[in-house]
């Protein structure tokens, strides 16, 4: 694992950022005849050239060697059959689905690329239309390798174990209770930071926002039997094949609230000039390809632009809630959205249910029973979700309620809520759940539908 100084960031969302790891490396124009220090100028376009200017996403990179310098791509030596980006052959079901926590691999050598599994999605990357939902579970860092997703943007939600993400733009450190967004075409690598042993991810262990999983990596370390630190990570990925994530409009809320632009963090310029037998993994229409090159792709000395990777700490989200009676729809907790061509309808929303106060009078306070034109995939990062007390929805697990599939609080939650006559203000503590909500109807992959983690008795909680 690479050892680096503490990571620094630039702040803002959608800004025109710039940085240089060596003074004078950033030229005064995009593509000079000769770049400073003999660097190569390369543009990374996240949108078509002719989209409206307010939607334009691109960055200019100044690198030691251009990214085109590699051997030909070949189909991967370890085809990941549980990874897909075409859901035309997927399975649809109107049933409520729930998965128990996805296990950390027991066999050694499972990195982020090998440990990613597609659960469901819709559309196809080939048409640049739709989405995919994956889970990752890994126990080793990527070594002398990078990964590029040509299919869409990744929104990564760590649930267990902190990650150090090396990108062409710089470094991101992302722990549970934080997220990272990596744009289409950006090369990155995932290293695992020392943390609790995989046993700490067991459903029988406590897990809350105040637990060890959300503490700085330096305070998480436990020793393996051989005396070394344990490496393990698990989490969720929302992939969108069209558009990019943006902040939701606030409407009558006003100028402040929800996720503040100032709290998003982009990397500062960082590079490595390192010769090695490097493997570039490339995901293209859900298939994995690889190519060799004799140097690190993280050789960008300077860059500028607005198409950048970034992170966000979910604990900085400012929730809005009812203060009298009833409660607003869960869209009020939207962190990021990818809008569709229909106003108010999303390709995908990323929504969280963070710690907060609930104070509504003569109101059923838990989430209501619901049938939704949108489809809802939920995951639990820590604690206990307020609508599920049966113990089946656990950190590291997930649920899926497709378009118009009935869902809502389980029987235990309902009976407890209606029996509470005091109506005292209640603080929801130690819990962090999230939802990927989409206008598309998700189709299940074989890996998702046949997973041993599926809870066949989920329907009994009602």
**Catalytic center residues:** 327, 370, 376, 401, 407
Helix (H, G, I), strand (E, B) or coil at 442: coil
Residue written as token pair 């051989």: 226
- Estimate to the nearest angstrom the gap between the alpha carbon of 78 and the chain centroid: 24
Pairing mode of beta strands 58-63, 40-45:
antiparallel
| Residues 6 or more apart in contact with residue 7 via CB below 8 angstroms | 164, 170, 171, 172, 173, 267
List the beta strands (DSSP E) in 300-458: 300-305, 310-313, 334-339, 346-353, 356-358, 375-382, 398-401, 426-428, 432-438, 443-444
State the CB neighbour count (10 A cutoff) for residue 320: 15
Helix (H, G, I), strand (E, B) or coil at 157: strand
What is the rounded distance in angstroms from the CA atom of residue 368 to the CA atom of residue 147?
A: 41
What is the rounded distance in angstroms from the CA atom of residue 160 to the CA atom of residue 395?
A: 9
Residue written as token pair 């990021």: 336
Cβ distance 437 to 375 under 8 Å? Answer: yes
What is the rounded distance in angstroms from the CA atom of residue 334 to the CA atom of residue 435?
A: 9
What is the rounded distance in angstroms from the CA atom of residue 406 to the CA atom of residue 383?
A: 24
């Amino acid at each position: 694992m690479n050892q680096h100084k503490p990571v620094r960031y630039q702040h803002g969302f959608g800004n025109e950022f710039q940085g240089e790891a060596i003074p004078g490396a950033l030229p005064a124009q995009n593509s000079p005849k000769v770049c400073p220090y003999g660097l190569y100028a390369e543009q990374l376009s996240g949108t078509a050239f002719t989209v409206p200017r307010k939607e334009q996403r691109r960055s200019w990179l100044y690198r030691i060697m251009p990214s085109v310098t590699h051997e030909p791509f070949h189909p991967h030596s370890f085809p990941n059959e549980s990874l897909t980006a075409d859901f035309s052959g997927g399975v649809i079901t109107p049933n409520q689905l729930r998965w128990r926590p996805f296990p950390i691999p027991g066999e050694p050598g499972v990195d982020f690329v090998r440990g990613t599994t597609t659960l469901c999605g819709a559309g196809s990357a080939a048409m640049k239309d739709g989405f995919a939902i994956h889970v990752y579970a890994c126990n080793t860092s990527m070594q002398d390798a990078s990964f590029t997703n040509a299919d869409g943007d990744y929104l990564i939600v760590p649930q267990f174990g902190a990650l150090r993400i090396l990108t062409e733009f710089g470094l991101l450190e992302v722990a549970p209770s934080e997220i990272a967004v990596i744009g289409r075409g950006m090369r990155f690598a995932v290293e695992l930071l020392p943390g609790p042993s995989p046993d700490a991810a067991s459903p029988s262990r406590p897990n809350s926002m105040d637990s060890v999983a959300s503490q700085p990596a330096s305070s998480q370390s436990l020793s393996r039997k051989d005396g070394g630190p344990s490496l393990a990570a698990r989490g969720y990925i929302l992939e969108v094949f069209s558009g990019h994530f943006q902040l939701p409009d606030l409407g009558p809320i006003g100028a402040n609230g929800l996720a503040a632009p100032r709290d998003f963090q982009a990397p500062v310029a960082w590079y490595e000039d390192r010769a090695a037998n490097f493997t570039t993994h490339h995901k293209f229409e859900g298939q994995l390809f690889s190519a060799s090159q004799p140097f690190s792709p993280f050789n960008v000395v300077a860059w500028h632009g607005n198409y950048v990777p970034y992170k966000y700490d979910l604990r900085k989200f400012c929730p809005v809630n009812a203060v009298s009676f009833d409660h607003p729809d869960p869209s009020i907790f939207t962190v990021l959205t990818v809008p569709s061509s229909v106003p108010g309808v999303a390709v995908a929303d990323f929504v969280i249910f963070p710690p907060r106060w609930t104070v509504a009078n003569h109101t059923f306070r838990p989430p209501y029973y619901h049938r939704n034109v949108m489809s809802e995939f939920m995951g639990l990062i820590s604690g206990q979700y307020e609508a599920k007390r049966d113990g089946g929805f656990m950190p590291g697990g997930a649920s899926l309620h497709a378009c118009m599939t009935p869902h809502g609080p389980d029987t235990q939650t309902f009976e407890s809520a209606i029996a509470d006559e005091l109506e005292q203000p209640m603080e929801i503590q130690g819990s962090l759940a999230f939802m990927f909500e989409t206008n598309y109807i998700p189709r299940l992959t074989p890996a998702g539908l046949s997973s041993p983690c599926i809870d066949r008795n989920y329907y009994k909680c009602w």
